[in-house]
């Protein structure tokens, strides 16, 4: 692994850069100081569309490492499908490149699936795990979620996601490629086994909205299977409680409340 360009100073306490990670030119940003906290965005998203509201709050207490995954945002693609196992390997390799032995891992939606896989396949790099709005079996998603995917087209992708990608890349072919890889991964979604979740050793917090893509019953089940896991069900739809760009409510204090609750979990 090696840097592919010079690290850039973005704000007085922030830097951004690229690293060659498993064949990717992987983009990362580092904000703040303190214990390391990795933020992993959702499908089709960027750092800003998922974490624009919460990243500055987390950076008040942590060295936040925010990443963009394969084919997303500033990060390049590779000639292979997306997979949560590969994403987990990419995060592990990036932390090694950054010389960070252990970190807290926070993943939302598809990033939550990646965070869960990190807890399973790379336990040595995990301090604590926050799995947000993710499921481990197909039957954990709300009715109609998987049924709608095979016929989904780029037009079904929220405009704000398309605009965010094109603002970074101005590459319509790259946008379509990202959408198709994200869609294909979820169409072919394979259940994790109960024993895989039960193998997670890191202290884990599971968060979901009461009107999320993951059902509350499934979130409860996950919390029962992962040893010692804690569960927080918050009012709102998919990502609203972290201020995700699609579902954020103007003036809502929920992102701040969520950060406070996560901070309490991380400090225990």
Alpha-carbon distance of 248 to 110, in angstroms, equals: 18
125 CB contacts (<8 Å, ≥6 apart)? 91, 92, 95, 100, 101, 102, 103, 105, 118
pLDDT band at 22 (very low <50, low <70, confident <90, very high): very high
The 3-state DSSP class for residue 194 equals helix
Alpha-carbon distance of 176 to 128, in angstroms, equals: 35
The 3-state DSSP class for residue 75 equals coil
**In this structure, what CATH number is given to the domain that contains residue 36?**
3.40.50.1820
pLDDT band at 13 (very low <50, low <70, confident <90, very high): confident
168-181 burial: b if 16+ Cβ within 10 Å, else e: beeeeebbeebbbb
pLDDT at 8: 61
Quote the Cα angle for 77-116-144, to 5°.
Answer: 80
pLDDT band at 10 (very low <50, low <70, confident <90, very high): low
Runs of H (alpha helix) within the chain: 47-51, 55-58, 84-97, 110-121, 145-148, 159-169, 172-187, 194-198, 216-225, 254-267
Query: pTM to 2 decimals?
Result: 0.95
Domain holding 69, by residue range, is 2-267
Measured CA distances, 200 to 131, 132, 184, 203, 224 (Å): 12, 16, 27, 8, 12
Helices (H) and strands (E) in the chain, counts: 10, 10
pLDDT above 60: residue 242: yes
Q: What is the pLDDT of residues 245-260, one digit of tens each?
A: 999 999 999 999 999 9
Return mean pLDDT, the chain. Answer: 95
Q: What is the largest CA-CA distance in the chain?
A: 47
pLDDT above 80: residue 73: yes
Domain count, the chain: 1
Alpha-carbon distance of 264 to 87, in angstroms, equals: 27
């Amino acid at each position: 692994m090696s840097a592919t360009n010079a690290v850039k100073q973005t704000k007085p306490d922030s830097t951004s850069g690229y690293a060659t990670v498993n064949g990717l030119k992987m983009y990362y940003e580092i904000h703040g100081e303190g214990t390391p906290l990795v933020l992993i965005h959702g499908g089709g998203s960027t750092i800003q569309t998922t974490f624009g509201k919460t990243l500055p709050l987390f950076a008040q207490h942590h060295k936040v490492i925010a990443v963009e995954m394969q084919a997303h945002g500033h990060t390049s693609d590779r000639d292979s499908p997306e997979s949560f196992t590969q994403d987990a390997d990419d995060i592990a390799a990036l932390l090694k490149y950054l010389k960070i032995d252990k970190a807290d891992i926070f993943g939302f939606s598809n990033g939550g699936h990646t965070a869960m896989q990190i807890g399973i396949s790379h336990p040595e790099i995990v301090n604590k795990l926050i799995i947000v709005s993710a499921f481990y079996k197909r039957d954990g998603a709300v009715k109609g979620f998987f049924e709608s995917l095979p016929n989904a087209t780029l037009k079904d992708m929220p405009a704000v996601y398309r605009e965010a990608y094109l603002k970074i890349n101005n590459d319509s072919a790259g946008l379509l490629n990202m959408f198709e890889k994200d869609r294909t991964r979820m169409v072919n979604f394979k259940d994790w086994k109960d024993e895989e979740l039960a193998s997670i050793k890191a202290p884990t917090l599971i968060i979901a909205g009461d009107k999320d893509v993951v059902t509350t019953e499934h979130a409860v089940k996950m919390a029962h299977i992962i040893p010692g896991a804690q569960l927080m069900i918050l009012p709102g739809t998919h990502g609203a409680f972290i201020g995700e760009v699609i579902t954020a409510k103007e003036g809502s204090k929920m992102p701040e409340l969520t950060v406070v609750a996560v901070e309490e979990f991380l400090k225990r």
